[in-house]
Structure 1
């Protein structure tokens, strides 16, 4: 009886070899690639040639490099460590940013305080006038206290002039009294000058506050009348060096004598005094040279004090103010 199954065809020897090899590999386990074998590094050597290795060279560890996978695709770029200069710049940038943030917060706090302190711009201007008036009050008090001393010095100079006209010698006691009186007046004017110099920072402070307040409140620019009443032209004039100060002092004396009577002038070291009186008003002019030490600037101060003769109240006319305002321009031209 014929066999119902046909004999199997013979398997080629090469296929059987491959199959057997596969079985052996499955039995023994396929070796896995390590992480180091999977990662590649691309770097440039000293000759400028691009190199690909599984480990970066020691000389390149401190520099930037690119990490590649097993098929050469970039997986990570490692930058070089920062230099000392870059670290310094980074620290300086951090400091500047922190300082800028601090100033912003400080300005916010100042703005809030400014708006809480002054409800309107008029309140701010009123506060400014109050601060200036607080400085001016001791100045007026000192002027009042000086008037008897000025009268006394005037009489001493009249006595000296009478003796000189008579051809007589001036006693040492009289000369000492004149010198002592001039010293007292010079010290008093030094106090007035010191007080007057305090006005400058007050004006500057309130000018900045007013400008900031207007910006925050979106107010229009100030009118000239709003900042009137205490012109900076009355402030002392400073000079440096013998040449400049000598020139300024000569111009100051010329200006002083152009508005006073030379016959009534009293001159002492760094001090000129003069009077101009009529039936209603008494005006006293003074020009002072003041310097605390050789290292400090010289200040030239022109003072014009007007009082009503009956009431001794302060008086001032437009002409008086023009004389005060013209002093700075005449000296510093």
Structure 2
């Protein structure tokens, strides 16, 4: 009589091959865990020991990792990396003597420019403090010119007197020469003193005339600058 019982069900899990795969999974899982733990332990040990590595590029552009710094790395720049290869710090390449000189020159130029700006700021402040109005500045300019004119006039008057004295002393010395007598030392010294004094006065007058011309030349610029400073104050 045919079998009429419950149908038979064969589970695939009961096959020999599946038993083998299960065993492999069971055996490999601890192995992988050990590898991960070993890697982590190595990383922690490296960090604890303070191991430093350097990352840099060689002349061909290839990235290199080394425990020491070769001269090539210093010339091209490098990264300090930790045990995981993460960049801790970047160090730029070593600068050449020419670059250091260029930096120093640029710094000197910048310092000089700052000094000029500071000097101009002080001059502007003094200008504003000295003259509360534009008319005061104009009056001061005119007064300065008048003082120079008076100084030139005074020195010129003295110079005319000394030129007259020099003429007299020169004529006096000539009388001795016509008589065939030596010119007295005192007369010679007086003539020399007068000539030097007249030359000094001529130089003084020339300086004052140049100073006056410079004041006249800059008066309009100074006045315009003063107006600009006052306008900025009013903003």
Secondary structure of 1:30's aligned partner: helix
Q: Is 1:63–2:70 an aligned residue pair?
A: no
**Alignment TM-score, normalising by the size of structure 2:** 0.61
1:99 aligns with 112
CA RMSD, Structure 1 to Structure 2 (Å): 4.6
1:98-128 CA-to-partner distances (Å, cap 9, x unmatched) read 2211110101111222343353334213213
Secondary structure of 1:81's aligned partner: coil
**Alignment TM-score, normalising by the size of structure 1:** 0.46
Secondary structure of 1:31's aligned partner: helix
Q: How far apart are 1:196 and its partner, in Å?
A: 1.7
Residue ranges of structure 2 left out of the alignment (5+ in a row): 48-52, 229-235
Higher helix share: 2
Q: Is the 8 A contact 1:64 1:81 kept in 2?
A: yes
Q: Is the 8 A contact 2:169 2:191 kept in 1?
A: yes
Aligned match for 2:62, one of 34, 51, 54: 51
Say how many residue pairs are matched: 203
Q: 1:140 to 1:75 in 2, by over 3 A?
A: same
Q: How far apart are 1:24 and its partner, in Å?
A: 4.3
1:41 aligns with 55
1:121-174 CA-to-partner distances (Å, cap 9, x unmatched) read 342132133134234423323423554x267458648x95xx99xxxx62416x
Q: Is 1:198–2:212 an aligned residue pair?
A: no
Residue ranges of structure 1 left out of the alignment (5+ in a row): 220-333
Relative contact order (alpha carbons < 8 A, sep ≥ 6): 1 or 2 greater?
2
Q: Is the 8 A contact 1:139 1:192 kept in 2?
A: yes
Superposition misfits of 4+ residues, deviation over 6 angstroms: 68-76
Q: Is the 8 A contact 2:57 2:73 kept in 1?
A: no
Q: How far apart are 1:189 and its partner, in Å?
A: 1.7
Q: 1:63 to 1:56 in 2, by over 3 A?
A: farther
Higher strand share: 1
Secondary structure of 1:82's aligned partner: coil
How far apart are the structure 1 equivalents of 2:54 and 2:118? 51
Q: 1:69 to 1:211 in 2, by over 3 A?
A: farther
How far apart are the structure 1 equivalents of 2:218 and 2:29? 91
Q: Is the 8 A contact 2:162 2:194 kept in 1?
A: no
Q: 1:15 to 1:52 in 2, by over 3 A?
A: farther
